[in-house]
């Protein structure tokens, strides 16, 4: 694996960095934080559309679909830079739905969706989980009845983040109730403005909103079926491997600021950085962050060499999200009781970021498949152990 960027790739990275520094505002960063770094806020949309106009939202897509035909390595580095600077970093349309449409969508569907996605004009929300179907997604029940030129949908989703700010639902639904569980599922794109959809808020402990979404006789045109009917479960599983690539840029930024804080802050007559326990903790986190980087770019290497990431995506998701928890917990311990002071108070160290990023890090081991499920995937697909 080669970690060096070619000069032309480094130039793109420098340009992205300069663009973000020039265009970023405190208002946009605050808005992005409140909605959990998802893509849908007014100011977030403005800056990301400008960024996308350079091809930087989907750099690895072919030029005909709005990308730059760039390497996955450069694409990952740009995603990490976006996260590092606190811009919206979670894109369902660009990072999960788009690649699936490119692989299995009809030519008509590719024409309709890929360019608007690449330009950042539309955002989707992930519609997988239901009250009885989380880890075991194949138990999903939201029913889609085939009525010839359209489907009629009824049922309920839960924990559907982005749904209150996105334009479309990237929806998994049951099209054949008589087939085996994973063989009767289809994927559809549903306009959130369709009559019969109700989005109800669920506020997480990270403060940002996820949602319940109710479908009551919602009509979806046939052209919005993704790929083949009843093959949706396989598409969904492939899309999950795209979702399980977790840029740690936001946490790296916090860590770098924490190290600087430890160097500069004098407590009891000596800098925090001289305390043995602080040094041990920071050194441990630095090492784990380096492993996160290696696992992250390993996924890019797998893609750039024409392979498809599988259990390696689970390893990266699991290790990165747990490192994020250890990182923020470590920062809480270094800062002591001050760590609990919230953003907005003049007494909050690092502008209160440790406090809320600690709460964010808790939910990250749950979505995109819990880390217990990731360990099962690594055991099964990576080690060849029998299914449990
Ligand atoms: C903040 C947040 C945002 C989310 N956003 C979305 C979204 O946008 N779209 C969407 O569709 N979903 C979303 N989810 C749902 C998320 O994917 C599910 O919560 C997750 O997959 C777990 O499902 P569950 O909550 O039903 O828990 P369950 O599946 O009931 O699991 C409960 C516990 O049992 C463990 N467990 C379950 N099965 C196994 C097993 N086979 N082996 C070992 N342990 C097991 C789990 O690890 C967990 O600890 C989000 C969840 C959260 C918390």
Distance 203 CA to ligand 1 centre (A): 16
pLDDT tens string 14-57: 999 999 999 999 999 999 999 988 999 999 999 999 999 999 99
H-helix or E-strand containing 139?
Answer: none
What does pTM read for this prediction?
A: 0.95
Whether 96 is in a domain gets the answer no
Nearest CA to ligand 1 atom 38: 135
Helix ranges, the chain (H): 7-23, 26-34, 42-52, 72-84, 92, 98-104, 107-118, 232-243, 249-264, 276-304, 311-335, 353-364, 371-377
Alpha carbon of residue 28 to chain centroid: 19
Whether 2 is in a domain gets the answer no
Whether 224 is in a domain gets the answer yes
Residue 174: C-alpha distances to residues 75, 135, 138, 139, 235 (Å): 34, 17, 9, 9, 14
Index of the ligand 1 atom closest to the CA of residue 370: 47
Which CATH number covers residue 35? 1.10.540.10
Determine the pLDDT at residue 27.
97
243 is an active site residue: yes
Between 240 and 167, the higher pLDDT residue: 167
* Maximum alpha-carbon separation in the chain: 77
Mean pLDDT over 123-128 rounds to: 97
Q: Which of 131, 134, 187, 325 is the pocket-test mutation for ligand 1 (most atoms within 8 Å of CB)?
A: 134
Task: Express as a percent the part of the chain with pLDDT over 90.
Answer: 92
The residue among 232, 260, 284 that closes a domain is 232
Mean pLDDT over 151-168 rounds to: 97
Whether 156 is in a domain gets the answer yes
φ and ψ at residue 231, rounded to 5 degrees: -105, 5
The verdict on 185 and 158 lying in the same domain is yes
C-alpha–C-alpha distance, residues 187 and 170, integer Å: 7
Arithmetic mean of pLDDT over the chain: 95
Positive/negative CA dihedral, 93, 96, 98, 100: negative
Cβ atoms of 39 and 91 within 8 Å: the answer is yes
Mean pLDDT over 241-254 rounds to: 87
Which residues' Cβ are closer than 6 Å to ligand 1? Answer: 126-129, 134-135, 159-161, 204, 210, 363, 366-367, 369-370, 372-373, 376
The verdict on 269 and 371 lying in the same domain is yes
Whether 388 is in a domain gets the answer no
Q: What is the dihedral of CA 88, 89, 94, 95, to 10 degrees?
A: -160
Determine the pLDDT at residue 239.
80
Mean pLDDT over 252-259 rounds to: 98
The residue among 203, 232, 261 that closes a domain is 232
Positive/negative CA dihedral, 259, 260, 261, 262: positive
Which position among 123, 243, 288, 355 bears the catalytic label? 243
Determine the pLDDT at residue 245.
83
DSSP string, 335-375: HGGGGGPPTT-TT-GGGGHHHHHHHHHHHHTTTTS-HHHHH
Q: Are strands 124-127 and 168-174 parallel, antiparallel or unpaired?
A: parallel
Distance 363 CA to ligand 1 centre (A): 10
Which CATH number covers residue 163? 2.40.110.10
C-alpha–C-alpha distance, residues 379 and 315, integer Å: 10
Show the domain range for 340: 244-382
The verdict on 213 and 250 lying in the same domain is no
pLDDT tens string 59-75: 999 999 999 999 999 99
Whether 109 is in a domain gets the answer no
Distance 369 CA to ligand 1 centre (A): 6
Distance 136 CA to ligand 1 centre (A): 9
Q: Looking at the 3D structure of the chain, how many domains does it have?
A: 3
Quick check: 218 pLDDT over 90? Answer: yes
Whether 95 is in a domain gets the answer no
Which CATH number covers residue 289? 1.20.140.10
Nearest CA to ligand 1 atom 26: 134
The verdict on 268 and 212 lying in the same domain is no
Whether 377 is in a domain gets the answer yes
Quick check: 3 pLDDT over 90? Answer: no
Determine the pLDDT at residue 130.
98
Q: Which of 36, 39, 129 is the pocket-test mutation for ligand 1 (most atoms within 8 Å of CB)?
A: 129
DSSP SS3 for 179: coil
Determine the pLDDT at residue 308.
84
pLDDT tens string 78-97: 999 999 999 999 899 999 99
The verdict on 224 and 272 lying in the same domain is no
Determine the pLDDT at residue 243.
67
The residue among 90, 108, 136 that closes a domain is 90
């Amino acid at each position: 694996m080669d970690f060096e960027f070619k000069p032309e790739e480094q130039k793109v990275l420098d340009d992205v960095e300069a663009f973000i520094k020039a265009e970023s505002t405190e208002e946009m960063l605050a808005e992005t934080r409140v909605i959990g770094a998802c893509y849908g806020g007014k100011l977030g949309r403005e800056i990301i559309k400008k960024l996308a106009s350079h091809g930087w939202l989907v750099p690895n897509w072919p030029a005909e679909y709005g990308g730059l035909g760039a390497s996955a390595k450069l694409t990952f580095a740009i995603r990490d830079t976006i996260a590092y600077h606190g811009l919206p970093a979670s894109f369902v349309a660009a990072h999960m739905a788009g690649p699936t449409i490119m692989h299995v969508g009809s030519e008509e569907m590719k024409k309709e969706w890929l360019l608007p996605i690449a330009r950042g004009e539309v955002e989707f929300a992930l519609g997988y989980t239901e009250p009885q179907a989380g880890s075991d997604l194949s138990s999903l029940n939201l029913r889609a009845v085939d009525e010839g030129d359209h489907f009629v949908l009824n049922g309920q989703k839960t924990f559907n983040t982005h749904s209150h700010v996105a334009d479309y639902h990237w929806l998994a639904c049951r099209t054949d109730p008589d087939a085996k569980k994973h063989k009767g599922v289809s994927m559809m794109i549903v306009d959130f403005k369709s009559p019969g959809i109700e989005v109800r808020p669920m506020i997480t402990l990270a403060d940002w909103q996820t949602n319940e979404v109710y479908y009551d006789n919602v009509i979806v045109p046939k052209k919005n079926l993704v790929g083949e009917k009843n093959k949706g479960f396989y598409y969904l599983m492939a899309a999950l491997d795209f979702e399980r690539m977790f840029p740690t840029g936001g946490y790296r930024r916090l860590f770098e600021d924490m190290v600087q804080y430890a160097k500069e802050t004098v407590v009891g007559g000596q800098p925090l950085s001289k305390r043995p326990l602080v040094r041990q903790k920071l050194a441990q986190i630095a090492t784990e962050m380096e492993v996160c980087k290696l696992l992250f770019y390993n996924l890019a290497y797998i893609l750039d060499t024409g392979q498809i990431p599988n259990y390696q995506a689970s390893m990266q998701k699991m290790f990165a999200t747990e490192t994020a928890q250890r990182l923020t917990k470590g920062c809480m311990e270094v800062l002591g009781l001050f760590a609990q002071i919230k953003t907005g108070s003049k007494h909050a160290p690092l502008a209160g970021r440790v406090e809320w990023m600690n709460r964010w890090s808790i939910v990250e081991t749950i979505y995109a498949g819990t880390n217990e499920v990731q360990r099962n995937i690594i055991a099964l697909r990576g080690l060849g152990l029998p299914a449990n």
